[in-house]
Each structure stands twice: as structure tokens, then as C-alpha cells.
Structure 1
Amino acid sequence: MSQPEPQSPPGNTAVQRAASPRAAPRDVLLVGNPNCGKSLLFNRLTGLQQRVANYPGVTVDVRSGQMGELRLRDFPGIYSLSPLTLDEQVAVRELRAGLASEGTCGLLYVLDATRLERSLYLLLQLLPEAVAARVPVLVLANVMDELVSRGARLDLEGLQAALGCPVLGISGRTGQGVPELQRALESWKDAGHASRLLPTLTPDAPSDVGALKARARALAQAHGPNADVLLKSQHRLDRFFLSSLGGPLAFLLLMAVLFQAVFSWAAPLMDAVEWATTALGALVAGWMPGALLQDFVRDGLFAGMGSFLVFVPQIFVLFVVIGVLEDSGYLARAAVILHRPLSAFGLSGKSFVPLLSGHACAIPAMMAARTIESPRRRLLTILSIPFMSCSARLPIYGLLIGAFIPAHAVLGGLLGLQGLVLTGLYVLGVTAALLVSATLHAALPKRQGVLGDAPFVLELPPYRLPSARAILRAALSRSFSFVRRAAPVIFSVTIIVWVLGYFPHGAGHLESSWLAQLGKLIAPVLAPIGADWKVTVGVLTSFVAREVFVGTLGTLYGLQAGGDTVPTALLQQGMSTATAISLLVFYALSLQCASTLAVMRKETGSGRIAAGAFVGMSLIAYAAACAAYQLAHLLG
């Protein structure tokens, strides 16, 4: 398919001549609708690895990256210059500030070639403001590869002439058109040349909303692809995934696969990591001079860090499965299916994606809640997210389930018992979140404009076959990011725990160590769930970050058992299954992440809300753990 070279179109040259060169222009603004492919293009141009997914609302803040001498600024997706949600308010405010800035040398507008009318509406709003600010505009018609594969075409030349600004066909996924785009960006370094690429306005350019929509529709019909061709396959799949029977069944099946995969698919990698850390610990310890350093390396450092690292494969598998769901376009359909049941608890279908993202990490999940128009439902979503079992909980789940739950097949061999228990923990967190949300929904005042409501409107993205390479790369990046964030904390706590557990009498005297004295002092707090002082110390240190619990136990039992794996040591020390179950319940419901509390305070604008969430979840977790311990004892 041929496409025009990005150049100054014919039109009102008086506007172009009136433009004066700017002083040292260096910023390029990247703008478009949600889910139009901006972030993917941003990554390709800057070499960064910002998160991308096939549903609206992934980018919720302005991101920047360098392209040589130029700085590319990726704005959250917006549908118009009249914002409804917090992320749109941020985008419109920053966009107008960017247009007014002397440091801006151009604007890249990314439109989805498969959804032309919607994309053109925002563009028609932007062009007059770009002309007034003397900012050149280059329109990028994205997903051209997908358009061609569906047998459709886009009239790039006609669209360029009609809009009065250059139009370039590209594909952020395949790189089509990117070299031409990079050449165009190089020319923007010259402010004088860039000023000659200003968009032009025809005398009859519409300004009111109705006229803009009519103009966008007319342009899409005249120069865009046939909508029926593009939507045929999507409608066929939606008849199943959005049906009253097929939708819920598909959702339950996908969730079951997700939780089962965390144990079954990750097992070989976990075994390999455990063997490698044990062997490496013994090897490095052998190089150390003196028994003290050898004990620290083997029983402290590698026992503590190794106990944490062995569960990273489970986190990687979780990110892979979530990545498939994100890139396929299914998540938005699940949000539609779940809107009605979630509404009964004060939430919304738009709460689903932040809640699911919370199973990876609560921090970006809370920021993703900015896409929810209703302040009331946004607040309830933010308060519900910490109940989702994030990736930091997985090492704890893996440790306790692996030690106390037998790897038996259930349901006729369809599921493993360990995977079923893991599923139960995720369900427990979701159930608690819904109950808390419903309680707060009933208690909070229903004042319009403060905690008011808004209708549920959600764009359904096209179905796409996920890219295995992109998903694996993203899962690796997110896994390494998790390890980089957690490792320094675990390393620091490991050193402290080892020192307190080693002294004053050395290895083999853990019961008389300084740590034992501290642990026995606070052990009565967890006596109602049958925990000894070692487990109590582990729980105490995990209030720094949940994943520290595994590293702490690894260090403690490394000191006690001379390098045995943590599950074996736990069994040898006689922790009961009831205690293990109560700990699982406690960690499923507690809020033990300082970063999450900080983001909650920022997103809600209230330190009291964050403090209340911490205290409330801690009390709920403690009460539920005690109840689980008593119930487990009654059931034998």
C-alpha cells in the first residue's frame, strides 16, 4: 500500500508563514485515544519497556523517553479535550501545557486505522489548538498491518489532503513506517523546517461538538476502511464471550488455568533455581576464610535469598498468563460480564482490570483506577485492591502450600490439590474485598459530585493473537523488576536476622540467641494460631514487605538446620497444618507493603484513608487467621 511522504499540505500558507521559529525545541508530544498503540510506539522509538496491553487505560500518567536529541512524551489516552476521568484530566492539562511550552517542537497524533471515526474526533479538536500554538502535527495511522490482513485499506493521500496535515501509515508492532517516522522527527530538530509543517485550517472547519462528530464520521466514511469487514470476526467471538452462559464459563475456566499454571508450569524452573542456589551457596561458602563467613554465606545469605528466589518462576508464570489475557483483548469483555455482579458491591466493570492487575502488583493497579469516572467507585476500587493476592504473596503461598498441602490430583485429575488451595486463597481475597466494598458502599454518603456515580461505558478492543515474544519479554521484565525491588529489602533483613540469630553464642545455639529472646517476647501475639517464636519473627519482619517472611524463615532455619530447605525444616520443627492454614489466611488478607500505603495516600489524597486501610486489614487478617486455626483444629 502506497502512502504519502510527510510534507506540508496545500492550504492556508499564511498561517505557516506567520509561524516564528521556537527557541531550542526538543519535546515531541505523543497523543491519541486509549489503546491506539501509543505506548508500543513509544517503546519502539525510545528503546524503553513501558507496559503495554490490549485494553484502554494502561497509561495513566505522562511518560518521557529520549530519542537522540528529542524527548518523546507519551500522554494517557483521551477521547476528547473535555476530560471525565482523572487520567484524562492529567493528560489534557499536561497536553495544553505542552502545546504552550516553548520547548515543544511537534505533536505526533496516533490514530487507530481500524477505528478511524473515533480517532478523528479528537484530532479535529486538537488541530485548531496546535495551529494557535504553532506546533506542527504529524498524524500516524497505526495498526496498518492489521488493516491489510483483514482485507481493508485506508486512503492516506485523501485523508492527508482533507485534514491539512501530513499522514503516515505505520505499525507499532511490526515497525512498518517507523524509519520514515524517524526521518520526519529528525527534521523537527530544525525549528525553521518544523514551522513549515504546521497544520492548516479550512475556513469551514467545525468547532462545536455536533459538527466535529459529523465531520469525523464523514472523513471516516470517505477515506477509511469498511467497518463491516473489520467487525465481522469480532462480533462472532463476542457472541460467545459476552453471552450469559458462555461468558461466565469462559471466565471461570481461564481463572482456573491461571491458578493451576502457577504451580504446575513453574515446578521445573523452581527445582532448577533451588538446586542452583544451594550449589552456589556451598561453592561460595567454600571460598570464604573462617567459619563465621562460611556460616553467613551458606546459612544466612544464600538460605535467606535462595528461599525467596526459588519462587520467582511462579511469579514469572503468573505474569505470562496475565500477559496473554491482556494482549488478547479478553479483559475488556470480562469487565462487561462482571459489571452487573460488581455493581451489587459498589464497584463497576471498570474496576475489574485494576483488580486483576492487583494480582500482579497493587501499586500500578491503584493508578489504573484513575480510568474509573465515578469518584465513589474509584475509591472503593482502590480500597479493594490490597485484598488481591499480589505477586509478593506468591512466595509465601508457595512455601506453605508446598510444605503442608500434598500434591494430589483432584476433580478426576483435572486439577491438583495445591493449585486448588491456591485458587481458594485468591477467592478468599476477592470475597473479602467485595464484602468490605459492599459495607463501605452502604456506609459512605451518596453526595453527587463528591462520591457520586457515573454510567458504565467501556470500549471493547479488537481481538488480537498475543505475541509470544512480547509476552515473554514483558513477563521477564516485570519479574526482574519485582526481584530488583524486593531483593535489597530481603538482603538487608536477612543480614539483621542472621546477626541477631547467630550471636552471642554462634551457630547451633539459635534458641539462646538475641533473636530468640526478642521472638519469645512477642510470641504471645501469634499464640492463638499456634505459631512459635520463629514464625512470629517472620511475620514481624514481613510488615516491611510480605516477601521478607520467606527470606527470614530461610535464614532462621538455615541457622537451625544447617542448610535444609525451608519446607523440610518447617516439618521437622513441628509446625501444624492448622498453623500453616492460618498463616495463609493471614497473608491473604493483610496489608504489608509500605509502597502500597504511600500510593493509596497519593491516589485518595488522604493519609487517614491509608492508615484506616492498614489498621482495618490487619485486624481482619488477624481475626480471620484465629478463626481459621480453630476451624482447622475442629475439622482435625
Structure 2
Amino acid sequence: MKNIILVGKPNSGKSLLFNQLTGLRQKVANFPGVTVELKSGSFDQYKLVDFPGTYSLKSLSRDEELAIEKLHEAMLSDETSLVVCNLDATRLESSLVFGLQVRDLALQHNKGIIFALNMIDEVQRFGHEIDTEKLATDLGCAVFALSAKTLIGLHEFKLALIDAAKRPQDFLPLLHTEDKSSVLEISRTLSKRYGVKADVVLKKQNRIDGFLLNNLMGGVIFLAIMFLLFQSIFTWASPLMDFVEMALAESAVKVSNFLPDGVVNDFVTDALFGGVGSFLVFVPQIMVLTFVIGLLEDSGYLARAALICHKPLSYFGLSGRSFIPYLSGHACAIPAIMAARTIESPRKRLITMMTIPLMSCSARLPVYALLIAVLIPDTQYFGGLVNLQGITFFILYFIGILTALLVSTLLTKLTDVDKDKAEMPFVLELPTYRLPHWKPLGHRILTSAKQFIRRAGPVIFMVSVVIWFLGYFPENGVLQSSYLAMLGHWIEPIFEPLGLDWRYGVAILVSFLAREVFVGALGTLFGIEGADENISGLAANIQADGLTLGAGIGLMLFYVVALQCVATVATLKGETGSRKIAWGLFVAYGVLAYCLAWLAASLI
């Protein structure tokens, strides 16, 4: 199967075009140590490969360097049939800088190339028309105007793409030999000749930016959006969580009635539905988190948030570019740590990576949700739009962010604060405001849920089986005489000052494999004791067991700070190149988390 490669600059509609051409038939290849990923999907009889967005063939970061390296490899490959370069019709000059470089590269390697002039609907909305035939003549390549969002010209483009892929030699660039102008000069000339004027495009954007980036209102709006983000994780996901919990409970009862009494019945009821089932309840929260972050990113607000945060973050030794890894850390610390590679300053990059684990990732969601359901009443405000549990969620996330900033300040003072003279200034492109498109956003939500289940599911299953086995034998379910009780009572003195018994100690230890395992472990432990009462109601079982408010809050604070994730430690080691830093952070955050939990248990 021959390949068609799709390239373009970031925020140019390239990903949406890729989704429209391939549908959901996609695969992702990740490269270790960086955030670069190549998406591929089926298009007609070809394999369409979506390369990461880059602004130029001259790299500024390790991520861009690897992306460009892979592009050169694709150009050398006989499997590559055609190159498709995506252009942002609203920002023709910046798109053509990269587009012209790719055109010259395609000519150098004897590859056919066509240009997709995307977002033509926005250009038409401004009352402007682009003469694609004359632009194609000047570029020496075929140009097709389309809108991946509104589907304008997309059908015609698909037909042309299939035709070009079948006979790529007919689509080799035709360059004017006498044209010796630089790429920048040519792109500027072509933009003036064909593109919509910048002041027309920026007029509406600047009006909105004047409000959203205002010194006073911008900060208030930013805090309000962040509050709604964390509030939505609990409030909006509740109906879906209730549905999943009800389905699990009914399934457990039906399966239990079908099986004969004995070891197999106990295993399925307690280990599977009590352990693995306990974490499936929280998948809707992962989906809601992905949905809200996707809205912010696709609408163009995420880049504005980074700009708003630059000045405040600089007080803590960070830059505005640290905001995106920090926000990504609320989904998962591993890609967030790798995303910090885009920070030019080595010192700021290291500090950002070292403090990202303090962001409350999605793996902590099940832990927070469980403990909040146990300790915090579901008090409603403003007609149910806001509730006390959601506010508690926001406070926990805020504590993590505040701790990260305080640690950043301390690390800045302990390291060399003299700025590198070669350090680049903070420069960030602000994308045009756009309405998000449901198709790629929906695909992203489903992918995040699948990845969460695939990553956490096998670990939780193995841990649940081991815990059930240790808790069931040697006396067939008598927990007090089990192997697990022996292990738990041996480590119990460590957790007694926190107001926690041996079961919580065991759950904390096994959660080092993955934080979300804590819920599955407790589900198995409490399921063994209370399976006949309520298999899926783990929160009710813990409430009945008498977890105190101080111990519960201490446990939440422990998981806010503790680096309970072996994968994060491994990623830190790989990115920093230092085993000392990675395990040093594990110990330091563990000690700090224990002290905070002890203070909460002692004072509350």
C-alpha cells in the first residue's frame, strides 16, 4: 500500500482534514522521549500519514527536529506516492513559508505535491475570494480550495487526491528557474497578491482578545473557566457515573445468581465486580475532562491562557509555555513531562518537569471521587449547576497547582537563576477563534477513554486478583485470618498516625503501580467483607466502616502530593537523564505527602 503524507503548520486545520479523509480508521505511532506522534489511516487504497505540525524545516526543539527527520525519511522512501501540504487560507503568508520549503523538498526528491487551501469558508465569510488557478500557476503546484469543517470542496478534493496519487509524476512542482527570491519574500508577495488582508482577519479576533486578555477581566474569566473545568469533572459526569454504577451492580447480581456458590462465585463477585468494576465507574470523568480541554484547545483559548499565565508564572521561575504541560498534566503526567521539551530554557524546562507530578492527573480522579463521595455531602447550589462536591474537587486541584508553584519557587532559588544569554524570548502564535468540530473532538474523547481502560485495566485486574487471592485464602474468605491481613497488620504501624487501618495501607502500597489501583484495591478489600450488602457501593461501605473526616482529608492531601506512579518516575528518569532526580522526587513528595496527611488527621 502506497503512502500519502499530509503536512502543514500547527493550527491550520490539518488534523480536521485528516479526520475527514480517514474517518475513525486511524492508528497512532508514538516516539519515545518526545511528544511527536504520526497518525495514519486508510484513504481509498492508500495509507494517509499525518505528520506533526511544524512552522519550518529548521527545527527549534527536539520534537520539531524528530518530526522533520521523519519527513525527510518519508521523502526518501519509495512507499511515499504523494505529498499533501495543508495551507491556512486565513494566514497565507505563515503557511506558505513552510509550504514553499516542502515544495522545494518534494522537487528535490522527485515527489508529487498538491496544496490543500483549507479554511476557505472563513475567507469567504470575510467577503474575499482567492484565485486558486493563478496561485497554482505561481506556486507551480495544483491548489484546491476547501473547508474541512463545512465540507466545501472536500468531495472534489478527494477525487483529485486519488487521481494525483495514481499518477504522482504529473504533479511534480514546476518552478521558475529565474526566481531566486527567498522563501520569506515569495510567501509575503503571494500573500499580498492572493490572501485576505491581515487587519480584516484580526479585526474580530482583536476585539475578542481585548476582552479575554484584559489585565483585569482576562484574569477573572480565566479563573472562572478553570473553575468550570474542575466543576464539570464531578457535576456533569455524575449522571453517566450513576448509569455505569447501576449497570455494574445489576450485572454483578445476575452473574452471581447464575454461578453456583463457592470460590468461583466469590472471585467474580468480589475480585472482578468489586475491584475492576470500581474503577470503570470513573471513566465518564476522564471523558468529560478530555471534552472540556478539547473545547479550550480547538476554540483557540488554550493559547490565550498560556499568554495570560506567562507573567504570573514568571514570578515562580517558569514561563507561559509551562502552562500547557501543566494543564496536560491534569490528564496524564507522562505526556505532560514530554511536552515540556518545547520550553527553550533548560532551567525552566527542568523545573516544569519536576513539578508536573503535582498536577492532579486523571488517575487521581477515581481516588478523589471516591473519598469526596464518602466525606462531602452532595449539597446543591444555583439550581444544581454547582455542588459542594465539585467545589471540593476544585480545591484539591488548586492545592496541587499551588504546591507546584511553591516548589517551583524553591527550586528556582536553589538553582542558577542567571538567565542564559541565548535564551529565546517568549513567543506564541495566537490561533484564530473557531468553533470546535464535533468529529475529531468525539474521536479524542473515545480515544482517551479507551487508553485509560487499556492502561489501567490490566494492572487493576492483576492487582485485584492478587489481593483477592491473598484475602480469600487460606480460610476461604475469612479476612482476619488471611495472608493479606498478615501483610497489612505488619505495615499498619506506618499508617496508624494517619488514622488509617491496614486495608488503606495495602491499597496505598499497590497504587504505586498506578494511582487508580487504589480504588480497585479498596473495592476488592471492602467487597470481600460487604459483598452481600452492596457490591458496587464502595463509598457506602467505607462510610459504614467509619472513616473519619481528618483521616479522609489527610488521605486526599496525600494523593494530591505523593508521586504514586512508577510510570511517571520512569518518564522523569528518561527525560532528565538522572535517576537521582527521579527517585529523589519520589522520596521528597512522599515525605511531604505523609506529613500533610498526618497534620490533617491530627488537627481535624
How far the C-alpha of 1:137 sits from its partner, in A, is 1.4
Work out whether residues 61 and 87 of structure 1, in 8 Å CA contact, stay in contact via their aligned partners in 2: no
How far the C-alpha of 1:65 sits from its partner, in A, is 3.5
Aligned position for 1:22? none
Q: Secondary structure at the match of 2:48?
A: strand
How far the C-alpha of 1:46 sits from its partner, in A, is 3.0
Which has the higher mean CA deviation after the structures are superposed, 485-494 or 169-178? Answer: 169-178
Normalising by structure 1, what TM-score?
0.88
Aligned position for 1:291? 262
How far the C-alpha of 1:607 sits from its partner, in A, is 3.8
Work out whether residues 59 and 77 of structure 1, in 8 Å CA contact, stay in contact via their aligned partners in 2: no
After the TM superposition, which residues 173-184 of structure 1 pair with which residues of structure 2 at under 5 Å, given as runs?
A: 173-184=149-160
Aligned position for 1:316? 287
Q: Secondary structure at the match of 2:271?
A: helix
How far the C-alpha of 1:452 sits from its partner, in A, is 6.5
**CA–CA separation in structure 1 for the residues paired with 2:280 and 2:509:** 20
1:522 aligns with 2:491: yes
Work out whether residues 164 and 170 of structure 2, in 8 Å CA contact, stay in contact via their aligned partners in 1: no
Work out whether residues 569 and 582 of structure 2, in 8 Å CA contact, stay in contact via their aligned partners in 1: yes
Which has the higher mean CA deviation after the structures are superposed, 411-420 or 168-177? Answer: 411-420
**CA–CA separation in structure 2 for the residues paired with 1:267 and 1:51:** 31
Aligned position for 2:364? 393
The amino acid that maps onto 1:196 is D
Q: Secondary structure at the match of 2:83?
A: strand
Aligned position for 1:604? 576
**CA–CA separation in structure 1 for the residues paired with 2:342 and 2:81:** 29
Aligned position for 1:347? 318
**CA–CA separation in structure 1 for the residues paired with 2:26 and 2:518:** 30
**CA–CA separation in structure 2 for the residues paired with 1:443 and 1:547:** 33
Q: Deviations over 1:542-571 (max 9, x none)?
A: 111111111111111111122432222212
In structure 2, do the counterparts of structure 1 residues 216 and 383 end up closer, same or farther at CA, with 3 Å as the change threshold? same
After the TM superposition, which residues 237-248 of structure 1 pair with which residues of structure 2 at under 5 Å, given as runs?
A: 237-248=208-219
Aligned position for 1:627? 599
> Out of 589, 593, 610, which is 2:565 matched to?
593
**CA–CA separation in structure 2 for the residues paired with 1:134 and 1:346:** 48
Work out whether residues 285 and 293 of structure 1, in 8 Å CA contact, stay in contact via their aligned partners in 2: no
Work out whether residues 61 and 90 of structure 1, in 8 Å CA contact, stay in contact via their aligned partners in 2: no
Aligned position for 1:575? 547
1:204 aligns with 2:174: no
> Out of 106, 109, 133, which is 1:133 matched to?
109
After the TM superposition, which residues 126-525 of structure 1 pair with which residues of structure 2 at under 5 Å, given as runs?
A: 126-190=102-166, 193-206=167-180, 211-409=182-380, 415-445=386-416, 453-468=423-438, 470-507=440-477, 509-525=478-494
After the TM superposition, which residues 29-68 of structure 1 pair with which residues of structure 2 at under 5 Å, given as runs?
A: 29-48=5-24, 60-68=36-44
**CA–CA separation in structure 2 for the residues paired with 1:189 and 1:471:** 29
**CA–CA separation in structure 1 for the residues paired with 2:114 and 2:235:** 49
- Matched-pair identity in %: 48
Q: Deviations over 1:582-618 (max 9, x none)?
A: 1101111122223333333333344443333323322
Work out whether residues 86 and 373 of structure 1, in 8 Å CA contact, stay in contact via their aligned partners in 2: no
Which structure 2 segments of 5+ residues have no match? 29-33
The amino acid that maps onto 1:220 is S
Aligned position for 1:75? 51
Work out whether residues 39 and 50 of structure 1, in 8 Å CA contact, stay in contact via their aligned partners in 2: no
The amino acid that maps onto 1:628 is A
**CA–CA separation in structure 1 for the residues paired with 2:442 and 2:133:** 38
Which has the higher mean CA deviation after the structures are superposed, 605-614 or 415-424? Answer: 605-614
In structure 2, do the counterparts of structure 1 residues 46 and 607 end up closer, same or farther at CA, with 3 Å as the change threshold? farther
Q: Deviations over 1:119-143 (max 9, x none)?
A: 1112223332222221221111111
Q: Secondary structure at the match of 1:62?
A: strand
**CA–CA separation in structure 1 for the residues paired with 2:471 and 2:422:** 54
Q: Deviations over 1:138-182 (max 9, x none)?
A: 111111223223333222112101111111112222444343333
How far the C-alpha of 1:188 sits from its partner, in A, is 4.8
Work out whether residues 235 and 385 of structure 2, in 8 Å CA contact, stay in contact via their aligned partners in 1: no
Q: Deviations over 1:41-82 (max 9, x none)?
A: 223333347799xxxxx9733333343543333222221222
Work out whether residues 247 and 337 of structure 1, in 8 Å CA contact, stay in contact via their aligned partners in 2: yes
How far the C-alpha of 1:300 sits from its partner, in A, is 2.4
Which structure 1 segments of 5+ residues have no match? 1-24, 53-57
In structure 2, do the counterparts of structure 1 residues 376 and 155 end up closer, same or farther at CA, with 3 Å as the change threshold? farther
The amino acid that maps onto 1:489 is V
Which has the higher mean CA deviation after the structures are superposed, 255-264 or 607-616? Answer: 607-616
Q: How many residues align?
A: 596
Which has the higher mean CA deviation after the structures are superposed, 114-123 or 405-414? Answer: 405-414
Backbone CA RMSD of aligned residues: 2.5
**CA–CA separation in structure 2 for the residues paired with 1:81 and 1:267:** 47
**CA–CA separation in structure 2 for the residues paired with 1:51 and 1:250:** 37
Aligned position for 1:542? 511
Q: Secondary structure at the match of 2:41?
A: strand
**CA–CA separation in structure 2 for the residues paired with 1:102 and 1:514:** 61
Work out whether residues 278 and 306 of structure 1, in 8 Å CA contact, stay in contact via their aligned partners in 2: no
Q: Secondary structure at the match of 1:41?
A: helix
Which has the higher mean CA deviation after the structures are superposed, 357-366 or 108-117? Answer: 357-366
Work out whether residues 155 and 224 of structure 1, in 8 Å CA contact, stay in contact via their aligned partners in 2: no
Work out whether residues 501 and 556 of structure 1, in 8 Å CA contact, stay in contact via their aligned partners in 2: yes
In structure 2, do the counterparts of structure 1 residues 126 and 267 end up closer, same or farther at CA, with 3 Å as the change threshold? closer
How far the C-alpha of 1:502 sits from its partner, in A, is 1.1
The amino acid that maps onto 2:216 is L
Work out whether residues 60 and 367 of structure 1, in 8 Å CA contact, stay in contact via their aligned partners in 2: no
**CA–CA separation in structure 2 for the residues paired with 1:292 and 1:164:** 74
Work out whether residues 120 and 145 of structure 2, in 8 Å CA contact, stay in contact via their aligned partners in 1: yes
1:561 aligns with 2:530: yes
The amino acid that maps onto 1:308 is F
In structure 2, do the counterparts of structure 1 residues 363 and 50 end up closer, same or farther at CA, with 3 Å as the change threshold? farther
Q: Secondary structure at the match of 1:30?
A: strand
How far the C-alpha of 1:362 sits from its partner, in A, is 1.9
In structure 2, do the counterparts of structure 1 residues 46 and 411 end up closer, same or farther at CA, with 3 Å as the change threshold? closer
Work out whether residues 39 and 59 of structure 1, in 8 Å CA contact, stay in contact via their aligned partners in 2: no
Which has the higher mean CA deviation after the structures are superposed, 60-69 or 404-413? Answer: 404-413
**CA–CA separation in structure 1 for the residues paired with 2:434 and 2:90:** 13
**CA–CA separation in structure 1 for the residues paired with 2:346 and 2:294:** 28
Q: Deviations over 1:409-455 (max 9, x none)?
A: 57998842222211111011111111222222233346877x96321
Work out whether residues 376 and 453 of structure 1, in 8 Å CA contact, stay in contact via their aligned partners in 2: no
In structure 2, do the counterparts of structure 1 residues 376 and 418 end up closer, same or farther at CA, with 3 Å as the change threshold? same
Which has the higher mean CA deviation after the structures are superposed, 292-301 or 110-119? Answer: 292-301
**CA–CA separation in structure 2 for the residues paired with 1:598 and 1:182:** 44
**CA–CA separation in structure 2 for the residues paired with 1:411 and 1:346:** 39
In structure 2, do the counterparts of structure 1 residues 460 and 493 end up closer, same or farther at CA, with 3 Å as the change threshold? same
Which has the higher mean CA deviation after the structures are superposed, 562-571 or 406-415? Answer: 406-415
**CA–CA separation in structure 1 for the residues paired with 2:147 and 2:566:** 40
The amino acid that maps onto 1:458 is L
Normalising by structure 2, what TM-score?
0.92
